C-alpha cells in the first residue's frame, strides 16, 4: 500500500493527507524531516540513495530524510527512519525547520516543511541496501 504524506500549511498545521507520489507530482506542501549525523571529529555522515528509489536515485544526500506517518511525532519518525535506513539509533535534537520548494528529476516537486535534527554517532553504519547504496563521512 502506498504511503500517505501529511499535508500542512506554511505554519506546519495539518490540513490533510495525500499519497506520496501524487504529493511529489503536484508539489503539495507536506511535513518532512532531515537528519544530519556527525562523528566526534565533526565529520558529516552522508548516504547515497539506493538506485531503485523512484525519487532522486543515486543522489548523495544528508544522513537520512523522510516523512512522519499519521499520528507519529516528527522526532520519533526521524529516529525510526535513521534506524531503517542507516541501521542505528542515536539521540537526535531538533535544531530548526524551514519550508522549501525544488523541482527534481522525474517531473517531481519537493515542497516540504522540513524539520532538521542533528545527532552524533561514532561507529560504522549498517545501511539498508533498499534505502542507501553507499555511505561516507565527509569533512
**Catalytic residue from among 64, 65, 110, 131:** 65
Weakly modelled stretches of the chain, pLDDT under 50 = none
Question: What per-residue confidence (pLDDT) applies to 51?
Answer: 87
Known catalytic membership, residue 85: no
Q: State the pLDDT at residue 53.
A: 85
What is the pLDDT, as a whole number, of residue 59? Answer: 87
Q: What is the pLDDT of residue 134?
A: 95
Report the distance separating Cα 23 and Cα 110, nearest Å: 9
> How many angstroms separate the CA atoms of 87 and 45, rounded?
13
85, 110, 112, 131: the catalytic one is 112
In 3D, which of 34, 33, 38, 64 has the Cα closest to residue 138? 38
Domain count, the chain: 1
Residue 126 to residues 34, 47, 109, 133, Cα–Cα distance (Å): 19, 11, 30, 11
CATH of the domain at 35: 3.90.79.10
Q: What is the pTM of this model?
A: 0.93
CA distance 53 to 44: 23
Residue 65 bears catalytic tag = yes
Q: Given the C-alpha cell 540513495, which residue does it identify? A: 49
**How far is the C-alpha of 44 from the C-alpha of 74, rounded, in Å?**
21
Q: How do beta strands 108-120 and 30-38 pair?
A: parallel
Range of the domain at 31: 4-138
Distance CA 130, CA 11 (A): 33
Amino acid at each position: 500500500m502506498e504511503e500517505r504524506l501529511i499535508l500542512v500549511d506554511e505554519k506546519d498545521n495539518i490540513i490533510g493527507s495525500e499519497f506520496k507520489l501524487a504529493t511529489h507530482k503536484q508539489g503539495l506542501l507536506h511535513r518532512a524531516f532531515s537528519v544530519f549525523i556527525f562523528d566526534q571529529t565533526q565529520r558529516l555522515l552522508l548516504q547515497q540513495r539506493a538506485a531503485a528509489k523512484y525519487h532522486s536515485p543515486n543522489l548523495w544526500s544528508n544522513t537520512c530524510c523522510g516523512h512522519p506517518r499519521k499520528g507519529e511525532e516528527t522526532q520519533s519518525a526521524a529516529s525510526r527512519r535513521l534506524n531503517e535506513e542507516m541501521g542505528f539509533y542515536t539521540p537526535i535534537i531538533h535544531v530548526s525547520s524551514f519550508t522549501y520548494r525544488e523541482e527534481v528529476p522525474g517531473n517531481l516537486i519537493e515542497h516540504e516543511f522540513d524539520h532538521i535534527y542533528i545527532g552524533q554517532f561514532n561507529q560504522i553504519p549498517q545501511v539498508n541496501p533498499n534505502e542507501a547504496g553507499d555511505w561516507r563521512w565527509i569533512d
